[in-house]
Amino acid sequence: MGKGQNIVVIDYGMGNIGSIINMFKFLGVQAKVSSDKETISSADKLVLPGVGHFDKAMENIGKLSLLDTIQDMALLRKVPFLGICLGMQLMCKRSDEGVLPGLSLINAEVNKFVFPFDSKLKVPHMGWNYVDVKKQSEVLEGIDNQSRFYFVHSYFVSCNSDSDVLTKTTYDSPFVSAFERDNLIGVQFHPEKSHRYGITLFKNFIDKI
């Protein structure tokens, strides 16, 4: 569809939205930011950002009455849907971080990093790390196992179906750093902060998905 498409970044009060909008602007796209159901329902593509606590995010989505709209767009109308960081986790069924159910867009759960007391690894997992590509995808065109992305997270996604796993990243042991099923894409890293590889991912989402 190219750069004339209507991309909406869902604003539920907990997103790193400025950096995402700037990335789209850099690539020549004027993405909208909205918490309005009608605006979201008119989108050609949706982005669900997120920084913060799982339950608080789901509470905000509930207060804005966006749950049905998001599920309708993602599952029934099957518009291209990109979840970033907490946004990826919200696409799952549940999280160790809270008690509320997630959006249940994909068959996956969110678990907390737990390391032995004497481990040198810290939580959150923060900084640059590599992705191990597990299947071909247009959103990863130009991205390979030498590509690094920026991470900040204390929880990670566990997919119940291996076929949904797009990339894995190792932090003590491998975890799912991106998933893809049909129109649904989730990335644990922050492509908006990941320089040229993040630019490549956003460009692919604009031009190819």
Q: Kindly list the catalytic residues.
A: 85, 190, 192
Tokens of 102: 């997630």
Classify residue 207 by burial, with Cβ atoms within 10 Å: 0-12, 13-18, 19+.
Answer: middle
* CA Rg value for the chain: 16
DSSP 7: E
Helix H, strand E, coil C: the string for 152-165 is: EECEEEEECCHHHE
